[in-house]
Structures are given as C-alpha cells and as structure tokens.
Structure 1
C-alpha cells in the first residue's frame, strides 16, 4: 500500500504538474520558464511559493487553523498582513482560553 506524504497531499494539481516538470527538467528553472512561456523570475516565485507550501505542511508544530491561514496566504487567497493579524488574534484568544 502506497502512502502519500502529507506535504504532497496538500498540493493542488498545478503544483503537482509543476513539480513533475521541475524534476523532468532536472531542476532547470530556465527550461521550466520555456515550458510555461514565462520569465525566469516568475518561475522562481512559483518555486518559492511551492517551497513555502511544503514547509507549512511539514511544520507539525503548527495548529491546524494557523496552517490553514498560512496556506491561504501562500496561495494568495488572503494577503500576508491579514494572515498575520488572524494568526496573532487567534493565538491571543487561544492563550486566554487556556488560562
């Protein structure tokens, strides 16, 4: 039975396709840029976001809610300032509940 790591299961179809192309081009960002018809900096940004997604998934110490907010920010569903505010307020509220 094959077990898919959690970080992989959190990737959307576009991320999986990008990862596959990245591997097939031996990690050449220039080749990836040609495949997608975009500039090198655009590919670099995409790779950086993918790395952030994986790091968020791998950080087991994160609360599931905090991980969700971080994923939304990385996926540009909410901006980073809003994510910081939500996480800060959530943590303040969580600490009060524990007391």
Structure 2
C-alpha cells in the first residue's frame, strides 16, 4: 500500500467515491469503528450497515485498481439495502450471472 503525498481529494482514491460513501466513512471513524453504533446512528440494522460498508470497501478496492464498480453488484447491493431482495437472493443472482459469463467466454 502506498501513502504517497497527494495534493487534493481528487488525487486520492477517496475522491472516486460518491458523497454517501464518504459520509459513511466519516461516521464510521467518528463512531470509533463500531458498526453497531454506526447502524444505530443511521437507524438501520447491523446487517444493513454491514452491506453498505461492504459496498464502500468494494468501491475502494476497485478505485485502487483503477476499475469502475461492477454495475450488477451495485444494483444488487442497492436492492438488498432497500429490502427489495434478500442477501441470499442477491448472492444467488450474482453467482448465476458469473457462471453465465464464464460459460459464454468459453464458447
């Protein structure tokens, strides 16, 4: 990991994140890293805040690698967050799509 000096937020991987992700990172730090306290502050359940944080982590990793987030994963995460899809259902859909993509690449 590199901690090179950067002049602006736009020069930093955090500058690639949407405002809502930056806000949750700030709140997480202010709550001393406690996801339980963060969930309480946002008025959501622990699993919901865990999913949101997982999405932030995925976006950060993509940004570090110079990639854009996967739009399918983004959509599935939003549906789970809004309670429109279970996390198990989202994983099943994601896995099915990955298998489909792998099979189409083989042909």
Normalising by structure 1, what TM-score? 0.64
1:73 aligns with 2:66: no
**Deviation sequence 1:9-65 (CA, Å, 0-9, x none):** 1111111110100000011001111111100011111111110000001114xxxxx
CA contact (8 A) 1:6 1:57 kept: no
Q: How does 1:38-57 map to 2 (within 5 A)?
A: 38-57=44-63
After superposition, where does 1:1-99 map in structure 2 within 5 Å? 2-4=7-9, 5-60=11-66, 67-68=67-68, 70-76=69-75, 80=94, 81=97, 85=101
TM-score (structure 2 length as normaliser)? 0.60
Alpha-carbon spacing, 1:73–1:8, altered in 2? closer, same or farther (3 Å) = farther
Partners of 2:48 and 2:41 in 1: how far apart? 12
Unaligned 5+ segments in structure 2 are: 1-5, 77-92
Q: CA deviation at 1:71?
A: 4.1
Aligned residues: 81
For residues 13 and 74 of structure 1, what CA distance do their matches in structure 2 show?
19
Structure 1 runs of 4+ aligned residues shifted over 6 Å read none
What's the RMSD between the two structures over aligned residues?
Answer: 3.0
Gaps of 5+ in 1: 61-66, 90-99
| Matched position secondary structure for 2:75 | coil
